[in-house]
Structure 1
Amino acid sequence: MGLPAKKGKEVVFEKVKPQQGFTLENQEKKMRDIKGADIKGYLEELFLSSDEFVILTAPEAQNSVRYVQACTQDGEIEVELGIEREGTHLYYKMCSQEECSRIFFDFYGNTFVPKMEEYSPVEF
């Protein structure tokens, strides 16, 4: 199966290639060699603007999670996980600023283990 591929309402994406260190990005810039303060700054921008998104990508998948991304939807925060399994599958949930921050920092610290029953597949 060539990727990306649509399976029902879900789209399966190619796996992200392994990389050195984490990357942090939004629509304006992309950083490598990041620190916790960088993540905090990007998330603060996200929480203040309805047009922001933030993506944190790990060097390799951690507990099947390759990346965490967040955006705002109708005043709420949507966190999406890129789950690697025969391609990359997107799952989402709505959450508070506090929970969003915790997810990003736990992922950065390699302690994030998602409770997948709290997430739903992203539909396209």
Structure 2
Amino acid sequence: MTVVLVHGAFAESASWSGVIPLLQAGGHRVIAAPNELRSLSRDAAALSGLVASIEGPVVLAGHSYGGSVITNAARGHDNVRALVYIAGFAPVEGASHAVPVAHPDRVAALIADAIAGRLRG
């Protein structure tokens, strides 16, 4: 399983530094994806390209604005098994959207639950 972490608007990939080792310790490949913060469509397209390059199942986790990005990037990718929203925006279809992760242990546990299929929307 590959977990792709997507930061929000006022953060950077390094904001996942507390979460990454916890997920890796669980045996998962982890990518803290760059999020250019240019526009939702451009950011989602860049992430979609990354997802397309990954072989095997993927879990996308987005923090804040990253939630909108993962929602749009996941479309059309059969290998995406779960979307995890960390204080994220989960927009309804057709809608738009107008910091470091505080509790990495809780975030890692939430993602692990999604991987194990213990979470349902």
- Give TM-score scaled by structure 1 length: 0.30
Q: Higher relative contact order at CA 8 Å, sep ≥6: structure 1 or structure 2?
A: 2
- Give TM-score scaled by structure 2 length: 0.31
Point out the structure with the larger helix share. 2
Larger radius of gyration: 1
